[in-house]
Structure 1
Amino acid sequence: MLRIPPPVLALSAGALQALLSRHRHSSHGSRVSAGLLVPVCLALDISSLRAFRRRQTTINPLKLDSVSELVTDSANALTRNPMYLSLAGLLLAHALWRRSALALLPAAGFVLLLDKVQIPAEEAALEKAFGQRYFQYQRQVPRWVSPRTIQRLLSR
């Protein structure tokens, strides 16, 4: 499990993106592309945060032992990690805005770190806390996103 909160990691990745693309400038097209992605990311995040708040369970990924509810609705019905997907999407939007392929590297590193370190620790804690209920959720909802998820989002 990571000891640095994922939002702090995302901010660090965003700063690295800015550094790597400091000589790049946005265009009308890059601003439009990023501008279309940002509201989707924010909606995912807000939807999930509200669902966690309604169930009065923790959103703090550093306190996995204090999880009290398995949240499977709202954005969590589309992806098991909507908050992380939102952060990754915002990093993608930042790279698009800056028109920099090099700025995609910190975004990819962020996703890889979460996927290989943070998410497995969270999944182990959820498996321990919720057992078969969590296994069923895992089978029904992708860790990140799937073509089916994208289709469901676009049909709303």
Structure 2
Amino acid sequence: MPKVPPPVYVVVGLAAQHLLSRGRRPTLVRSVAAGLVAAGSVCLAGGAARAFKHKDTTFNPLEPERATAVVTDGPYRFTRNPMYVGMAGLLAAHAIFRGGLLSFVPVAAFVAVVDRTQIPAEEQALSWSFGEAYDSYRAATPRWLGTRR
């Protein structure tokens, strides 16, 4: 299991975006667009956290084996990883706000790292813990948005 909590990657990504877009001033249009993307991202991640709380299960990404239920409602109907989609959305919102194409590099890096390290380890633990219930959910619901895997 990876030992770095995904929010740490977000903080590193935000810092990298700041360095990559130094000296750029946000426009009104970018500010509004970034605010809308950020609001949607917070709602998505918040809905995911509420769904976990409703099922009374852990959402600690470093200890998926402590999960007591497969959560399939709320945002989990559309993606198996709404918290990670929300985190990527916050990085995308910050990239929009900062401006410049280089600001999107940390967004891509976050998605790649989480997709290749964190999510596979979580999925393995959940499959082991919940068997067919999780495997069926995984087969029917995309990992991110609009993609099956």
- TM-score grouping bracket, smaller chain normalisation: over 0.9
Aligned match of 1:70? 70
Aligned match of 2:90? 90
State the SS of the aligned residue for 1:24: coil
Aligned match of 2:10? 10
Q: How does 1:50-129 map to 2 (within 5 A)?
A: 50-129=50-129
Identity of aligned residues (%): 43
Unaligned ranges ≥5, structure 1: 148-156
State the SS of the aligned residue for 2:61: coil
Moved beyond 2 Å, runs of 4+? none
TM normalised by structure 2 equals 0.95
Partners of 1:99 and 1:21 lie apart in 2 by: 7
Unaligned ranges ≥5, structure 2: none
Tell me the matched-pair count: 147
1:53-88 CA-to-partner distances (Å, cap 9, x unmatched) read: 111111111112211111000011111000000000
Aligned match of 1:145? 145
RMSD, aligned CA: 1.1
TM normalised by structure 1 equals 0.91
Partners of 2:64 and 2:43 lie apart in 1 by: 24
- Matched letter for residue 128 of structure 2: K
The answer on whether the counterparts of 2:65 and 2:126 sit within 8 Å (CA) in structure 1 is no
